[in-house]
Amino acid sequence: MDKFRVVLNIANKQSNLGFGLLALMTAGGEQIFSSVVFSCPCNELNFIYGLVFLLVPGLALLLLGYILNKKTWKLLTGFCQGQAKLCSCRTAVTVLFQINTTALVAPFTWIAVALLSGNYYECLMTGTKISPVQHLCERNHSKVPCENLHRFPCRGTSVRQTDREDVLLALKAQSQILGWLLIASVMLSSLLLTCLARCSSPISYLQLKFWRAYAQEEGELIESYTAKNAKELAQRNLQSFFHQKQAEPILTPSTKDWEKISSLYKFSTKGQFYSTLHRYVETREECEDGMMRMASIVSSESADDHPAVLQFVDDCTFPV
């Protein structure tokens, strides 16, 4: 799970590289799983057994993707604690779509690789009695009904070896066709969505690269700063407890401050902020003069909802 979390974090920060690593890791796991664990029972359980091995691991990977994505808990915590007003429904739907995009990489890879190998599909289809499979079986057996079709994935059937192999080859071909169609459809959908996001981007390509670099750096630094300051606070408390002396004061952000930087970021052209933390720093109240310091860069344009092209802004940037 730790390796999956690392690759998922990379996928959030570097989309192309991370998705590639995640897909390769899932494909390798499927190959090992298929060769070591999978064994078609060759009885009336063929359909259920093959279906479970084809879809259930994909479902498990989908749920794991949701669990390990910090943005999931960021969105859920905000709604459960009544902070939904911090972002519009359109922004929440956009963020949910971004979470699904990352979480669906591993399940689609698993199903596509499983279909290309053909083992699960062969076991699944030999456990059905649908007419196409029966017709395929009878055609390869000179109109002789295939009563032992569920035994085809295993050896020891009364059917001739060549006839059995013909049926299995036909089923494997169908499985591979479905696998390539799934891969092509996913790639085409990804291309179209990327083009749509780029065309609707409210900022230039170079600023988008700068924003992406900033989001990545801020995410890494906030992890280290959080660990460092938490360690200092824990050390102070332990020293005060064991030495029975007055603890030195340590300034920590208030609950409202944490809420401000932990909310989902909504892009707005009124203020050129690159994250909720940036917005908090630029607009927080000055204690010395009691005045609210406004952002250094302000635009007269109207506010926009979080565009899809800026999906990296909240990607695992802040701790849960």
**DSSP assignment of 215-250, as one string?**
HHHHHHHHHHHHHHHHHHHHHHHHHHHHHT-PPPP-
Q: What is the pLDDT of residue 301?
A: 39
Higher pLDDT, residue 12 or 112:
112
Domain boundary among 199, 220, 253: 199
Domain boundary among 143, 176, 199: 199
Q: Which amino acid is at 309?
A: V
Percent of the chain topping pLDDT 70: 70
Give the range of the structural domain holding residue 241, as residue numbers without chain letter: 205-310
Domain boundary among 163, 179, 199: 199
19-23, 242-246, 307-311: lowest mean pLDDT where? 307-311
Q: Could you give the CA distance from residue 38 to residue 40 in angstroms, rounded to a whole number? A: 7
What tens digit of pLDDT does each residue of 134-168 get? 666 666 554 445 667 888 888 766 667 777 788 88
- Sequence-separated (6 or more) residues with CB below 8 Å from residue 289: none
Q: What is the pLDDT of residue 226?
A: 92
Q: Is residue 213 part of a domain?
A: yes
What tens digit of pLDDT does each residue of 211-237 get? 889 988 998 999 999 999 999 999 999
What tens digit of pLDDT does each residue of 172-183 get? 999 999 999 999
- Sequence-separated (6 or more) residues with CB below 8 Å from residue 263: 78, 83, 86, 87, 276
- Whether residues 7 and 60 share a domain: the answer is yes
- Whether residues 91 and 157 share a domain: the answer is yes
Higher pLDDT, residue 87 or 96:
96
Residue 27: phi and psi, rounded to 5, are -65, -40
CB 225 within 8 A of CB 277: no
- Whether residues 146 and 289 share a domain: the answer is no
SS3 of residue 285 by DSSP: strand
Q: Is residue 316 part of a domain?
A: no
76-95: average pLDDT: 65
Q: Could you give the CA distance from residue 163 to residue 151 in angstroms, rounded to a whole number? A: 13
- Whether residues 63 and 195 share a domain: the answer is yes
Q: What is the pLDDT of residue 298?
A: 37
State the Rg of the chain over Cα.
27
Q: Is residue 12 part of a domain?
A: yes
Given pLDDT bands bounded at 50, 70 and 90, which one contains residue 20? low
- Whether residues 209 and 279 share a domain: the answer is yes
Given pLDDT bands bounded at 50, 70 and 90, which one contains residue 18? low
Average pLDDT in the chain: 76
Number of domains making up the chain: 2
Q: Is residue 265 part of a domain?
A: yes
- Whether residues 130 and 23 share a domain: the answer is yes
Given pLDDT bands bounded at 50, 70 and 90, which one contains residue 55? very high
- Whether residues 178 and 223 share a domain: the answer is no
- Whether residues 133 and 73 share a domain: the answer is yes
Q: Could you give the CA distance from residue 287 to residue 28 in angstroms, rounded to a whole number? A: 56
CB 65 within 8 A of CB 8: yes
Nearest residue to 25 via CA among 98, 109, 108? 109
**DSSP assignment of 15-45, as one string?**
HHHHHHHHHHHHHHHHHHHHHHT-----STT
Here the tokens at position 86 are: 């911090």
